Each structure stands twice: as C-alpha cells, then as structure tokens.
Structure 1
Amino acid sequence: MSPDTSHTNLRLGYGTNGLTDLRLDDALALLADLGYDGVGLTLDHMHLDPLAPDLAARTRHVAKRLGELGLGVTIETGARYVLDPRRKHGPSLLDPDPDGRAARTDLLITAVRVAADLGAHAVHCFSGITPADTLTDTAWKRLEGSLTPVLDTATDAGTPLAVEPEPGHLLATLADFHHLRGLLGDPEPLGLTLDIGHCQCLEPDAPADCVRNAAPWLRHVQIEDMRRGVHEHLPFGDGEIDFPPVLEALAATGYQGLTVVELPRHSHAGPELARESIEFLRTQVPPKGVPAW
C-alpha cells in the first residue's frame, strides 16, 4: 500500500541519478507505487538522453508516462559524463575553451526546452569548479556569459532556471548565488536550487535558517543527510541533520515545487533507499496548515 501523502504541504520526489540501474519507465513506476509526488529527472545516457536522436518523440513518451502516473517533474542536469566521457561534469560553464562552455550552454538550453515540454517546474544547474590558473573574476564573467542565453530561453519557455550552490564550485554558497544575481541584473527566471545537505556541510547558518533566508528565490529543493564539513550525500539517519525544523521551515515558505531525495552514489540500492527515504520523511514532515513564519 502506498503511503498516505495527504497530510503534508510538501511534495516529495526522488532523483533518477539514484536509480541509474533501472530503466526510466521502471523507475517512474516504482516512485509512483511508493507514493512519491514526482521525480527529479537527470538527463543522462540511460534516462532521456539529451544528445541521442528523436529527443522530441522520447520526451512525449515520458510526458505521457508522467501524466499516467500522476508524477510531477523537475529537470536536473548533473549527469557526470553526458558531454565528455573522460571528464566528470566536463566541459563546464567555466571551461577555458569557448567551445566547451558553449556545449554546456547548449545542453542547458536543451534541458529548458525538454522541461517546458514535460511541464517541469524548474531546470537545475550548477556553475562548475573554477579551472586551474583561472582568476576568480574571469570565472564569474564566464559564468555570466554562459548562462545568459540559457536565461533567455528560460524566459521564452516560462520555466525557471534554478542554480545550485555546490561545495567546491565557483558558486558554492547562498552568498555566491546572490553575487550571481547581481552580476546578471536579477533576471526574473533565475532562481535557486537549495540542497539541504549542502547547507549542513558548509553554510554558516543552520539548514532551517537557510531555507527561510532562501525562500524568495526557491525554485527547487534537494534533500539528503550530511555531516558538517564533509560533502557526502548520505541516507537519512546517517548524518547530522535535524529534519523536522528544516521541513517545517520549508512548508511554511509556501514552496510548491518538489523536494527531491538526492542520493546519486547509492543506485546499487536505489529501490530500497527510495522506499526507506519516503518512509523516513513521512515521519518528519509537518501537517498541512503550518502557520507561516
């Protein structure tokens, strides 16, 4: 029997980057059966490959399947080797080679178009690591230039672009996100992906305070357990996060998107962890009607 999800404001999802051993149709059916509200769909060679032929037709099939299963979707773009089979996450938006940066920009533009066709609530992305021998100001200028065409496409599509602060990247913190907003002139489609584990890992504020501070820009949420100072995505209960205050803060923001479990290194146990994760979160979430802070 699927868990009862009617008692919570939050819409829970699970990331396909944690289900890479499953065919996409099987992964979607699993999540629907477990009671998830949606899916964080990482465009990758095994799941709606953004570079393979007949993308439009394959996207229509996924849209139909999502509709049949009643699943919402957000598009994630963190596939490790989708552009370069030898460089993890390469090339990035900060690549020294303009052609490399353009390839990443084109991938994100494709992701925005796929997201629009699927009715996704946002497209996730991140900056990448600053290349060796690259000045910080130069890296920020590259990021600004690389994202501008993506934001133009997002504006036309009516689909937010949700940038994720990622430990070790140029854009690593909430403060860095606001720096990017300033560089770009605070464009309307630019939003934030907030990873709760990353808040625990390196933000100066507690995760619940990060949620409250990020609320006006929140377009996508990822969630997992984590320890302070260690960037390792952990199953719930294996880290240090106190989840009820985090989820109460998130519910109080009125955020309407998906809160997606992010366990990309646990695909070997994906189906079982998907079950355990939703069971854990159902014991932590506040009831509907939580008063706004």
Structure 2
Amino acid sequence: MSLRPSPRPTAHPLRYSYGTNGLTDLRLDDALSLLADLGYDGVGLTLDHMHLDPLAPDLAARTHKLARRLDELGLGVTIETGARYVLDPRRKHGPSLLDPDPDQRARRADLLVRAVQIATDLGAHAVHCFSGILPKDTATATVGEADAEAAAGEAAEDAAWKRLAETLAPVLDAATAAGIPLAVEPEPGHLLATLDDFHRLRTALGSPDALGLTLDIGHCQCLEPLSPADCVRAAAPWLRHVQIEDMRRGVHEHLPFGDGEIDFPPVLDALAAVGYQGLVSVELPRHSHAGPQLAQQSLPFLHHAAAVSTPPDADRPPIPGEGSTDSDGRTP
C-alpha cells in the first residue's frame, strides 16, 4: 500500500500528531519521516529505549540532533512518559509516583524532570505523565469488620494522594522554571483515573500554573459520566495535551478509528471551540504491527470528522452502557 499524504484542510484549527508508542517497529527517523510525508503536524514522542532513550549516555547529543530533524520536517512535539519498561525491565510502568519506596518514587520523578529538560531542548509544548496504580501494600486493608476495612482503605488512598503530590513537587518546580506544562493524564485503573481525580490533585498542590491536563478522548468514553465532547468543554481551562483514539464504554482498549463507539465530529468541534492550541495525538500503543497503515488511515479520518458540521443539540449522543460499573480494567 502506498503512503500518500492527507490533504490539509484550512478551515479547522486543530493540529494532529501520531504517537511513537504506536510505531515502535520503526526507527525514530523513519517514523518522523513517515508522519511528515503523511501530512501530520507533529509527533507524540514516548521516551523509550527504541527511539529516544532518556537514560542513554549520549542523550544530549541525540536530543540536539532530533531537534534539528524536527525543525527540518516542520513537526511539533509533545513528550510522553508512558513507556512500559523504561525504568524497570520487570514491572510495567514501574516504579511509579506512588511506589512505597521513596528512592523508587524519586527515580520516576527524576525521569519526569529529565523529560522536562528534553521538552525544553526540543521546543515541546507539554510533558505528559500519569500517577500509576495504587500499590498493593497501600491498598490492603486490615482484615476485620467491613467498616474497619473501608476506613483502612480510605486512609490508604489518602496516603497515596499525599505521596503523589509530594513526589510531583520537584517535577513541577522544574516545569515552572522551564515554562513547560506538566500535563497529567487520568488513566483507567490508576489512582488518578478521572477528571474529578485531576481536580483533587490540583487542589492538593495549590493549583500551580505548571500543572495541566492530558485528556485522552477514549478514556472519556470508557469511564467518564460526561460525553467526550462535554469532557473537552469541562476540561478546557486546564487542557494542555490531547490523545485520541476510538474506545467502547467500560472497556479500556485503544482502538483504531471506527472500531469503537465515539462520535468524533462533536469532539473535534469542542476542541476547536475551546481554542485548544496543542497537538491532538493519535494513541494506538498496541498497534505497532500495523503502525504505518494506521497512521495513513487516521489522519484522513480526523480531517473528515473535523469537516462534518454538527447540529448544536447533537453533541451529546447517548453513551452505550452509561452508568454501568463493568470494566475489564485493561491498560495499554
């Protein structure tokens, strides 16, 4: 299949990118060239061993070279930090910001500080991160009466939120100094899983200017009470990064466009209406085996969806299974 660029519409203000976590079988330069050839405006760059390894000894030189290449190709960039095993070859997304061991939490914080520096060197518009899951030792309640277990669970969760806020403090200091937003992503199955959870963290930290939000449109479909378009409007003041893919209600599985339940024209209309200026990044981390083809197909889909006019009262479609508590908790 030949790879042809998607025609760029001029009427819609949104800018689209594609995540390198969905192109892991390509060398980084090949992935960037592909996206530029297809007409993407940018790239969601996941810091990982196969592309830009944040722990490599030659990081500064490679980052400088990458900055030149992005400039040559005219690609914007967001820094993503969701690589599965970049810090620990045995623990997916470990250690997290919630790790019981303070030294391990510091390793994650150090990675995020390094990500802020990389973002500065590349001219990225945001650094993405997420909280991690509640560690088992934190979540385990004392065996006993139901009320005692509930109280222990609540105390453990409160302790985890305190951990999260404390561990993020030096990262936010670095982000503030660099003028780079730290965009936290609500992730199904994590401690910080919803928009309400984001506001809990924001309040605990005193609403720092450097703290922003990564909104994953699929996650909105998966578990938020609002429609994805309404989530965009509710999140607008804090919106610093957007990830997009299809998804079904109650199932955390990133799907190619058209394979899920999301009505995309209202979502893109909402992003344009709130004046979102960052990249809208396609997020398909389980589809690298078909990455080039999906990158080719995704951009025309988004351009077409953005061009479709939406009746004013038609942007709140019913969400299949709304109100259901069923979820398989699947994470990318």
Same fold judged by TM-score > 0.5?
yes
Contact persistence 1:251–1:286 (CA under 8 A): no
- The one-letter amino acid paired with 1:236 is F
- The one-letter amino acid paired with 1:5 is R
Deviation at 1:5, TM superposition (A): 1.9
Contact persistence 1:17–1:42 (CA under 8 A): yes
**Equivalent in the alignment of 1:173:** 194
Deviation at 1:287, TM superposition (A): 8.1
- The one-letter amino acid paired with 2:97 is L
CA–CA distance in structure 2, aligned partners of residues 209 and 24 of structure 1: 35
Are 1:246 and 2:246 counterparts?
A: no
SS in structure 1 at match of 2:13 = coil
Deviation at 1:188, TM superposition (A): 0.5
**Equivalent in the alignment of 1:132:** 136
CA–CA distance in structure 2, aligned partners of residues 179 and 171 of structure 1: 9
Are 1:211 and 2:214 counterparts?
A: no
**Equivalent in the alignment of 1:123:** 127
CA–CA distance in structure 1, aligned partners of residues 305 and 9 of structure 2: 14
**Equivalent in the alignment of 1:39:** 43
**Equivalent in the alignment of 1:2:** 5
- The one-letter amino acid paired with 1:57 is A
Contact persistence 1:9–1:287 (CA under 8 A): no
- The one-letter amino acid paired with 1:188 is D
CA–CA distance in structure 2, aligned partners of residues 81 and 132 of structure 1: 19
Equivalences, count: 290
SS in structure 2 at match of 1:133 = helix
Q: 1:103 aligns with which of 104, 107, 122?
A: 107
Are 1:27 and 2:31 counterparts?
A: yes
For residues 180-200 of structure 1, the C-alpha deviation after alignment (integer angstroms, 9 at most, x for no partner) is 000000001000000000000
SS in structure 1 at match of 2:242 = strand
CA–CA distance in structure 2, aligned partners of residues 133 and 48 of structure 1: 33
- The one-letter amino acid paired with 1:268 is H
Q: 1:230 aligns with which of 229, 236, 251?
A: 251
TM-score, reference length from structure 2:
0.86
Deviation at 1:80, TM superposition (A): 0.2
Contact persistence 1:194–1:220 (CA under 8 A): yes
CA–CA distance in structure 1, aligned partners of residues 128 and 6 of structure 2: 27
Change over 3 Å in CA distance of 1:115–1:287 after alignment to 2:
farther
SS in structure 2 at match of 1:105 = helix
Gaps of 5+ in 1: none
Q: 2:296 aligns with which of 275, 279, 283?
A: 275
Contact persistence 2:54–2:111 (CA under 8 A): yes
Contact persistence 2:9–2:303 (CA under 8 A): no
TM-score, reference length from structure 1:
0.97
CA–CA distance in structure 1, aligned partners of residues 228 and 52 of structure 2: 32
**Equivalent in the alignment of 1:71:** 75
Contact persistence 1:248–1:286 (CA under 8 A): no
Gaps of 5+ in 2: 139-155, 313-332
Q: Which runs of 4+ in 1 moved over 4 A?
A: none
Deviation at 1:54, TM superposition (A): 1.3
- The one-letter amino acid paired with 2:65 is H
Identify the range of structure 1 (1-10 vs 199-208) with the bigger mean alpha-carbon deviation: 1-10
Contact persistence 2:229–2:270 (CA under 8 A): yes
SS in structure 2 at match of 1:210 = helix
**Equivalent in the alignment of 1:163:** 184
Identify the range of structure 1 (257-266 vs 133-142) with the bigger mean alpha-carbon deviation: 133-142
- The one-letter amino acid paired with 1:2 is P
What does residue range 191-202 of structure 1 map to in structure 2 within 5 Å?
A: 191-202=212-223
For residues 111-161 of structure 1, the C-alpha deviation after alignment (integer angstroms, 9 at most, x for no partner) is 000000000000000000000131101110110011000000001101000
Identity of aligned residues (%): 78
Contact persistence 2:212–2:239 (CA under 8 A): yes
CA radius of gyration, larger in: 2
Contact persistence 1:121–1:159 (CA under 8 A): yes
Are 1:53 and 2:74 counterparts?
A: no
SS in structure 2 at match of 1:271 = helix
**Equivalent in the alignment of 1:259:** 280
For residues 209-266 of structure 1, the C-alpha deviation after alignment (integer angstroms, 9 at most, x for no partner) is 0000000000000000000000000000000000000000011111110000000000
Contact persistence 1:12–1:37 (CA under 8 A): yes
SS in structure 2 at match of 1:187 = coil
For residues 162-207 of structure 1, the C-alpha deviation after alignment (integer angstroms, 9 at most, x for no partner) is 0000000000000000000000000010000000000000000000
